[in-house]
Structure 1
């Protein structure tokens, strides 16, 4: 049995096969997933699993260099957005590497998900709880 934090086979494979600048989206239960993009659906019920716990688990085994979020996330759901910013700060401290944060309109964000290697759907029901991670390198 795998010993590290991330036990989900599809997620583990995805992380192991990411290359520099590849993008992965983690989203709430309502974000549309583009047809050609791999969907990893974790949603069990409203709120399970949550957005932040999914982000933290993904980050436990992924090196990232940037994130993209919708402007509406920080405006409409400021508490969860702040938790996301704090999680990114913790990751920067842990890794010793800067993580660039950028924002797009929600419509532009949805269009950007078409570039993702995969979209990971959570059970989160907080509006605009979505993030695109850009893979970094460990060296």
Structure 2
């Protein structure tokens, strides 16, 4: 049994398999999942687990070099937008239209569906590279 980190075996495997520039989507309950893109459905009920909870846990275990959100989040879900800005103040935060966001999601390695029911609570996490501090 794992001692720490993400316990969900599906998410843990996806993160371990990511390469540089691969990306995953963390989605609210309403984001459509394109045919052929795997979905890990964490939604238990509306709001559980929250978008923030899932983003926080995954960001602790993933090297992220860039984040993409829908520009509609800025005006229609300001709390989530402010959370993303503050949490990832050291990572580039790109914006695109929601329609473009849905097109990008077609190439995601996985879409992780949360129970979030606020609009536009979706993000694309682009994998970076972590070379660690192993002794040489």
TM exceeds 0.5?
yes
Unaligned residue ranges in structure 2 (runs of 5+): 132-136
**Whole-angstrom distance in 2 between the partners of 1:4 and 1:43:** 22
What secondary structure, in the 3-state scheme, does the structure 2 residue paired with 1:60 have?
A: helix
Q: Pick the structure with greater CA Rg.
A: 2
Structure 1 residue corresponding to 2:95, chosen from 103, 106, 118: 103
Unaligned residue ranges in structure 1 (runs of 5+): 93-98
Q: When the two structures are aligned, how many residues end up with a matched partner? A: 131
Corresponding residue of 1:9: 9
1:132 deviates by: 0.3
Q: How does 1:74-113 map to 2 (within 5 A)?
A: 74-89=74-89, 92=90, 99-113=91-105
**Whole-angstrom distance in 2 between the partners of 1:62 and 1:82:** 21
What secondary structure, in the 3-state scheme, does the structure 1 residue paired with 2:85 have?
A: helix
1:101 deviates by: 1.1
**Whole-angstrom distance in 2 between the partners of 1:101 and 1:81:** 10
Q: Compare the two structures and name the one with the higher helix fraction.
A: 1
What secondary structure, in the 3-state scheme, does the structure 1 residue paired with 2:73 have?
A: helix
Structure 1 consecutive aligned stretches of length 4 or more whose deviation exceeds 6 Å: none
Q: How does 1:1-139 map to 2 (within 5 A)?
A: 1-89=1-89, 92=90, 99-139=91-131
1:84 deviates by: 1.7
1:5 deviates by: 2.7
**Whole-angstrom distance in 2 between the partners of 1:57 and 1:3:** 15
TM-score normalized by structure 2? 0.93
The alignment yields a C-alpha RMSD, in angstroms, of 0.8
